[in-house]
Structure 1
Amino acid sequence: MQETAILADAACDMPRAMMDALGVRTIPFRIRAGDRFVVDTRDEAELPNLYQKYLVGKQDHYAESIPLLERELEDHLLKNVVAGCDRAILLTIASSRSKLYSNATGAVVGTVARSFKLRKDAGRSGLFDLTVIDTGAIGPGQALIVREAARMLADGASAASVVDAVENRLRDAAHMFLIPDELLYMYTRAKLKGENSITWSRYMLGSAFNIRPVIHMHRGVTQAIAKARGNEEGVRRLLSHVEACIRADSLLTPAVAACYAGDIDEVESLPAWQSLKHIAASRNVELMLAPMSLTVALNVGAGAFGLSYLSEAPPPFV
């Protein structure tokens, strides 16, 4: 029986303990800060220190995440993956937000061609098989797709069935919401990337009246869909919306993923989170809460809260 591995890049905001339990392997991002480079591998123990070094109090594009180049991806896969399994499915951050998907697809031929000797030396026959899929999601949305893919494999599904489910069912159902806290940081980052989710007028209005946008991402398209009086009010409304989704039985999979660019104990202590936790437990819905990856946090700022679910017809956000 051929063995299949699920790979996800470091922007996938799944709790590290869950990634380890499901056997999900991490493709790192490189973080550039001035003339220094560090590696983002979703090391949760190190994330608080990384936030302080590269995120908190920074408003000047001090650091940015950079995906591995084609040859670097080949080298990483050859060193860490190809000798230990027969095929891998790499589920990447949305191609509209990173060049990782493009670089990874470019690395497929080289990885497969260079895999033969390594696999032979490891006692495996044939060439390695690598499939790269653009999840069209980031952070917690990517985490939900990765979770379902890994769960399907664990339950005995074929690699082809997993690929079909991701491409034709899961990624179109991924909804991600973001409540930013530092508007200037997110405005400057959005401007740098050519996005309009935070415009100058929204930044000025939000700064003057403590208004925070509720940003929604679906199928790679990002837009502000509502306004809230402050970050806490935005988070409360978002968590209430997810409760409505659960009560309406509108989730495609029984899981909700959330991430926070800060101490996740702050989220755990929120009354709205405790309420969501209660309703989720009563409906057998799994809640996944993780520190936001540095790769994602560098684009949205400290204190940002993200949440995702998979649904084909969710109730409207109110």
Structure 2
Amino acid sequence: MRIGYVVDAGCDLPQSIIDQENVVVLPIAVRIGEQVINDSRQDVVSQQFLDSGIAKDAAEAETIPYTVEQISELFLTKLVVDYDYVMVQTITASRSPIYERCVQASFKILSEYHAPREAAGFATPFNMRVVDTGTLFTGQAVVAWEAIQLRHNGTSTQAIRNRIDRVIANTHGFLVTPDLYYIRNRGRAKGDRSVSLLSAALGTTLDIKPLLYANRGMTKPVAKLRGFEPACEKMLNYATRAVGQGLLTPVVSLAYGGDLDEMRNMPGYASLKQACLNNGVTLLESMMSLTGLINIGAGTLSVAFAQEGVFNFD
């Protein structure tokens, strides 16, 4: 069976893996002022954004995911012919309309796929599943990486579904951003006022950086540390400890909103890399997607992994 995977542009799976494994990316258009940039998860687009002068205005940007009609067209003109089964993995539905749009599109796709498949010479059925990963960015990459390994192993679609559900439930994503004012302004532009002007001002004045956590559709701060690098080090230490204890799937995903050499020089990175080498764990490293940069700001560091059980933040 020909199995295909679709992710949205916010998924921080390295571009090399996306290209090698033919992972299909649902683009997200980004409108900043009068300029529109198409994010299809390419490092060159993220780098151009970081190098440009428009990054300072990004908090007011509008992100425009594919519509139901565009998703349906992509499937009915291409994917229902290229594959027999497609799993769509989206950013958490609590933060984006992408999941709901893909579900709506699936009704049209599953009722109209017969004609294009028959025209291409395929008499067998087509099926698809839309999955809410319940996480963001690097967390999505962990789920996608596991799905790719299952495809390589010749795993059945039902077994893939069961395994991916288990990985999603136990994927722990973290991020630290250097600029609370950006998060506040970005949130206000989207109608989210969870970071107030006072908390942003105090956090900036005292150099307090919250460590944010995502799991099962929920996002929350789990620690506050003084200084960006100490906060990043604590976050990376969480991942290092988890690697030593044992992961549900042997992968850790890292993404950084800047030059990856800067990330590799951060405290805690070397220990994490060594722990991964010692335990046979793949360390994915990626420049953050343009969508991620728009939503949480340049310079943000994110890490994710899958470990069963309630996570211990001590």
Global fold match (TM > 0.5):
yes
Per-residue deviation, 1:88:
0.5
Which residue of structure 2 lines up, in the alignment, with residue 216 of structure 1? 213
Per-residue deviation, 1:57:
2.2
| CA distance in 2 between partners of 1:186 and 1:55 (Å) | 17
Which residue of structure 2 lines up, in the alignment, with residue 23 of structure 1? 22
- Decide which moves more: 255-264 or 22-31: 22-31
| CA distance in 2 between partners of 1:315 and 1:248 (Å) | 12
Which residue of structure 1 lines up, in the alignment, with residue 249 of structure 2? 253
- Structure-2-length-normalised TM-score: 0.93
Matched AA of 1:130:
M
Which residue of structure 1 lines up, in the alignment, with residue 6 of structure 2? 7
Task: List alignment gaps of at least 5 residues for structure 2.
Answer: none
Once the two structures are aligned, what percentage of the paired residues are identical? 29
* CA displacement, residues 129-164 of structure 1 (integer Å, 9 cap, x when unaligned): 221111111100011011111211210111111112
Per-residue deviation, 1:231:
1.4
The reply on whether 1:94 has 2:96 as its aligned counterpart is no
Which residue of structure 2 lines up, in the alignment, with residue 238 of structure 1? 235
- Structure-1-length-normalised TM-score: 0.92
| CA distance in 1 between partners of 2:297 and 2:204 (Å) | 15
| CA distance in 1 between partners of 2:258 and 2:31 (Å) | 20
Contact 2:10 2:136 in 1 (8 A): yes
The reply on whether 1:277 has 2:273 as its aligned counterpart is yes
Which residue of structure 2 lines up, in the alignment, with residue 289 of structure 1? 285
CA RMSD of aligned residues (A): 1.9
| CA distance in 1 between partners of 2:196 and 2:252 (Å) | 29
Matched AA of 1:208:
T
> Aligned ranges for residues 48-197 of structure 1 at < 5 Å?
48-53=47-52, 56-58=55-57, 60-61=59-60, 63-167=61-165, 169-195=166-192
* CA displacement, residues 277-313 of structure 1 (integer Å, 9 cap, x when unaligned): 1111011111111011111221111111111111123
| CA distance in 2 between partners of 1:59 and 1:298 (Å) | 6
| CA distance in 1 between partners of 2:41 and 2:300 (Å) | 17
Contact 1:22 1:150 in 2 (8 A): yes
Contact 2:59 2:186 in 1 (8 A): no
Give the match's secondary structure for 2:304.
Answer: strand
- Decide which moves more: 169-178 or 308-317: 308-317
Contact 1:197 1:215 in 2 (8 A): no
* CA displacement, residues 207-235 of structure 1 (integer Å, 9 cap, x when unaligned): 11111111111111111111122211111
| CA distance in 1 between partners of 2:3 and 2:89 (Å) | 13
Contact 2:173 2:304 in 1 (8 A): yes
Give the match's secondary structure for 2:81.
Answer: coil
Per-residue deviation, 1:127:
4.4
* CA displacement, residues 46-74 of structure 1 (integer Å, 9 cap, x when unaligned): 3200234486323641x222211100111
Task: List alignment gaps of at least 5 residues for structure 1.
Answer: none
Structure 1's 154 and 55: CA in aligned 2 closer, same or farther, altered over 3 A? farther
* CA displacement, residues 79-99 of structure 1 (integer Å, 9 cap, x when unaligned): 332211112010111101110
| CA distance in 1 between partners of 2:77 and 2:198 (Å) | 49
Matched AA of 1:29:
I
Contact 1:93 1:136 in 2 (8 A): yes
Contact 2:255 2:286 in 1 (8 A): yes
Matched AA of 2:56:
G
| CA distance in 2 between partners of 1:137 and 1:310 (Å) | 11
| CA distance in 2 between partners of 1:137 and 1:292 (Å) | 15
